Amino acid sequence: MVGATKASFNDVPASHWAKASIESAVAKGYFKGYADGTFRPQAHITRAEFAVLLSRISSNVVENDSSTFADIAGHWGRSGIEQSIGMGFLTPSDYSGGFKPDKALTRREMAKWMASGLAARNEGFKQALSDTKDTLVPVAEYYKGGLNPSDYPYLSVALGTGLMTGYLDGTFGPSQPTTRAEVAVILSRYQQVQIKEASDYQDLEEMREVGLTGTNLLSATPHVYSKLHGTTEPLSFENFANTPYSMLYNRGTMTVHRMIVVDAVSKTESKNLYGRMFLAGDFTRPIKDKFYNVFIESTIIPNDNASLTNAAFPSSTLYNFTTGRGFKSSTSDHFGTTVLPAYDDYLRTGFFKKDVPRRFWMHQYLNRDKEVSVNGGTMGRNGTLTHWYIP
């Protein structure tokens, strides 16, 4: 990274998508160009380079900057790497085989380092990492594979704060390297995020709620839970989630896992990040101004092959709000989700098979109108009851 420090480069034309961020990062001394007048925006960032960059932009206190990696002795980035460790970005135990400072940094590492640095300086972000350990991460690798459960909290913070984004096909690319141009943009974002609170970020708040309760109902809408009669105990969705119950007519067992609310503006735009998992231009359910779109993840284990057909399913689920409908969307292929067949496929059999657990997503509507918000806002009974309304 030694060389020119000017803010204009031969290989960064005026039309380059990251030009402003690159010039800003260079002007502030975070990045340097090369002696030949180039910035090399597509070149991969190494572990050492990103560690040094984080040490330059972070306002974290250095708690301990002693050397912990034998393979950085004499390396140009040693001081910055050690500072990043002391600032809480890097965990030495993650690199027990050596830091390998010149190895290309992966997007998984980038997310973890930045989220760890935020957690080291702010209790709210530290709590956010804890809250999202079991959340639904809106990237394709969550269902298709490529993420470890240990990745969930770090990606949640990176995505929920807007530090990083997924690709158009729904993937995050955790094992992919990242470029100098991408890092220049991300650094400008990090400077803003590090002075804010975790609670300032709506998408992160939703992922935290999903991780803790299975739904983003309270963070995505004005709904609240009713209280159990005579107590202060809220009738939370987590009371009902992941508790199997018998369906009507002895047709099988149903378990509701998650309930994701999407505040859709159109079929291609929503006000929350979870919308990218379900909405697309070919989404087959209508977007209604007076309703939120709700996506419910459930598992059904049929008792036989005959009675629980796709057509019979809605009348068998026992509770009004579990009578979801099937839908089609290209996001199903992108994100690897299994979806209840849409209405025009309802008369076909085969989706449900006796004794075979079938986990899938289905669609439901939630009323935005305060006066009728109690409609459909109940699932469960006795010790599993959940109920919500708009106060």
Q: Do residues 260 and 361 both lie within one domain? A: yes
Q: Do residues 299 and 195 both lie within one domain? A: no
Highest mean pLDDT: which range of 39-53, 130-144, 320-334: 130-144
What's this model's pTM, rounded to 2 decimal places? 0.93
Q: Do residues 25 and 152 both lie within one domain? A: yes
For residue 358, the model assigns a pLDDT of: 95
The residue out of 164, 188, 210 marking a domain boundary is 210
Q: Do residues 31 and 173 both lie within one domain? A: yes
CA distances from 250 to 1, 245, 254, 317, 351 (A): 68, 11, 11, 11, 18
Q: Do residues 22 and 146 both lie within one domain? A: yes
Q: Do residues 188 and 232 both lie within one domain? A: no
Average pLDDT, the chain: 91
Domain that holds residue 121: 18-45+104-210
The residue out of 210, 233, 262 marking a domain boundary is 210
Q: Do residues 255 and 144 both lie within one domain? A: no
Is the confidence at residue 90, as pLDDT, over 70?
yes
Q: Do residues 319 and 298 both lie within one domain? A: yes
Q: Do residues 183 and 254 both lie within one domain? A: no
Q: Do residues 175 and 247 both lie within one domain? A: no
For residue 120, the model assigns a pLDDT of: 96
Q: How many domains does the chain have?
A: 2
Burial class for 245, CB neighbours closer than 10 Å (0-12, 13-18, 19+): middle
